[in-house]
Structure 1
């Protein structure tokens, strides 16, 4: 009888103990949620938290007057920060005949079709290889993602002709660099992404320090910037952590993002749209990705000894990929004259203290 009663009591206690454990687990989870929401509690690091580059600081020269695979104007560039290479795109030069083409193609036809030349340089500006990208777009901005020794290019693709006689991309593409390769939008080497359905004028930049992808796109005739976690985009999961409108700028020439700030490049070459030597009209605008507010805008004097000097493209350079906090904001200029345009890249590496950023944003 006593043994039977003991076994009966144990049978009652087992589910009661299980219920208590479940209750404790639930309370612990609820407490965790409350703590994470409470003011002053340390939260996980946000990829949008960063200092802002000092746009008024003097810029250093990375490469100057370097030839690319074609003699056309540099459009944009990006860095392989692991292997320390530079990838640059430009519109394909006229007069070239690629495999499968029946005759040489004019430069105007290449532009309308969105045909690009991609050049790989070392950090001294020496050519290491090239690719041709037929039907991709205008090359306004590109990105590079490095996986081991392989550089994956992120570009626009599926170009459609615009009323301005340029071709413009409508999707994003990811592909590995392969020297001498010719790709089209239907090439099996491409993986395509459409973060915003119905968008066009899609261009892309990679923030290698924070693992982010920023896409510039046009929808309802207005330009916007969506920021995504790169790892999720590669899984075709499109959950923007920021999405801001483009503020008023002059002639747009490229963009890059670093943490919580977006940087926009604008301007024209000497002799056009009121740009005169040596001052020019090249500006960089910093935008707070959390609010969409303009944090700063500065006239850029770097490269003012260049001939022609048209601003083209931006990218984040990490001189040491193991120390992503030591980043540089790089921007390019095309120089010299047809038939041989040359490429130039300059960098800003000073980050403002937090209080200085707040001051700029409040001005």
Structure 2
């Protein structure tokens, strides 16, 4: 038992069991609803991910920085209001692909969690945490920038935050295998990663494509988004969602085709996030990019049916 705990702390084996409290999960077969469509971001590239600060009621969307090489890992992060109006932006240089980001409220401020130190693959090899500052720049060339590796042996990784249960979830790669690990957010803030609440290899998701486009977690369950743009799929709508039980590491629903924003031009699935309204309604958000080359737009939809 002591050896197993040691190996878990080092990220060398997946959890044999997890003990995350039970919760409801989203019914992925139920309809999705619009938050907004066709909104401009700070840059003109395809959105990659988004996240909410549920305390300060802020929304952030990550995308590749205009003019940056695809593998340079330079990200532009926009702040929008909930009508989709652009409020500000900042850049994170040599960060990664931006598949997921997380937002942590700290008083009236927001701290963002992103990947950092992009490799030749275009993906970040560690995580970092920084205060949101409109017009600010985070540069991985800064030697004083904190590098965070929840799993010391990970080759690359991204993260999201469950704002309802205050957990940090990281999707990480080790030896070309993708895994999911879950930590108490307060432990993560203290850089205590010795006791993951769960740590599982991601199973074969069984979708029509293997194009991974984002994830979000609420309570006992994590949700995945896969699919391609209409341009890449030849016009086929192949975007899918599914859910995995963090206590067992097994898929419990899906893959389910999502028709959210089916009439959008281009329509590439890009990002997932959890948001809890002021009234206490928890929503699973799905993101899609639309528009033409040189004028990509942001679109957000949500599901709210829990079972």
Mark yes or no: TM-score above 0.5.
yes
Counterpart selection for 2:161 from 206, 222, 246 = 206
Q: Which residue of 1 aligns with 2:36?
A: 63
Q: Is 1:347 aligned to residue 302 of structure 2?
A: yes
Counterpart selection for 1:157 from 97, 102, 116 = 116
Q: Is 1:230 aligned to residue 185 of structure 2?
A: yes
Q: Which residue of 1 aligns with 2:7?
A: none
Count of equivalent residues: 283
Measured after TM superposition, the shift of residue 240 of structure 1 is 0.7
Instruction: Say if 2:90 and 2:135, in contact at 8 Å, map to a contact too.
Output: yes
Partners in 1 of 2:20 and 2:282 — Cα distance? Answer: 15
For residues 253-264 of structure 1, the aligned pairs below 5 Å read 253-264=213-224
Q: Which residue of 2 aligns with 1:319?
A: 277
Q: Which residue of 2 aligns with 1:290?
A: 247
Gapped regions of structure 1 (runs ≥ 5): 1-45, 95-106, 353-363
Greater helix fraction, Structure 1 or Structure 2: 1
Counterpart selection for 1:138 from 55, 73, 97 = 97
Structure 1 pair 190/47, CA: closer, same or farther in 2 (3 Å)? farther
Partners in 1 of 2:212 and 2:171 — Cα distance? Answer: 12
Partners in 2 of 1:60 and 1:208 — Cα distance? Answer: 21
> Aligned Cα RMSD in Å?
1.5
Gapped regions of structure 2 (runs ≥ 5): 1-18
Q: Does the residue aligned with 1:271 lie in a helix, a strand or coil?
A: helix
Instruction: Say if 1:48 and 1:289, in contact at 8 Å, map to a contact too.
Output: no
Q: Is 1:89 aligned to residue 49 of structure 2?
A: no
Query: What is the CA deviation profile of residues 137-160 of structure 1, one whole-angstrom value per residue up to 9, with x for unaligned ones?
Result: 000000101112101101001111
Counterpart selection for 1:78 from 27, 51, 59 = 51
Measured after TM superposition, the shift of residue 191 of structure 1 is 3.5
Q: Is 1:170 aligned to residue 125 of structure 2?
A: yes
Structure 1 pair 188/160, CA: closer, same or farther in 2 (3 Å)? closer
Partners in 2 of 1:225 and 1:292 — Cα distance? Answer: 9
Q: Which residue of 1 aligns with 2:201?
A: 245
Partners in 1 of 2:148 and 2:106 — Cα distance? Answer: 19
Structure 1 pair 274/260, CA: closer, same or farther in 2 (3 Å)? farther
Provide the TM-score with structure 2 as the length reference: 0.89
Partners in 2 of 1:189 and 1:129 — Cα distance? Answer: 25
Q: Does the residue aligned with 1:124 lie in a helix, a strand or coil?
A: coil
Instruction: Say if 1:47 and 1:210, in contact at 8 Å, map to a contact too.
Output: no
Structure 1 pair 225/150, CA: closer, same or farther in 2 (3 Å)? same
Greater strand fraction, Structure 1 or Structure 2: 2
Partners in 2 of 1:188 and 1:177 — Cα distance? Answer: 19
Measured after TM superposition, the shift of residue 204 of structure 1 is 0.3
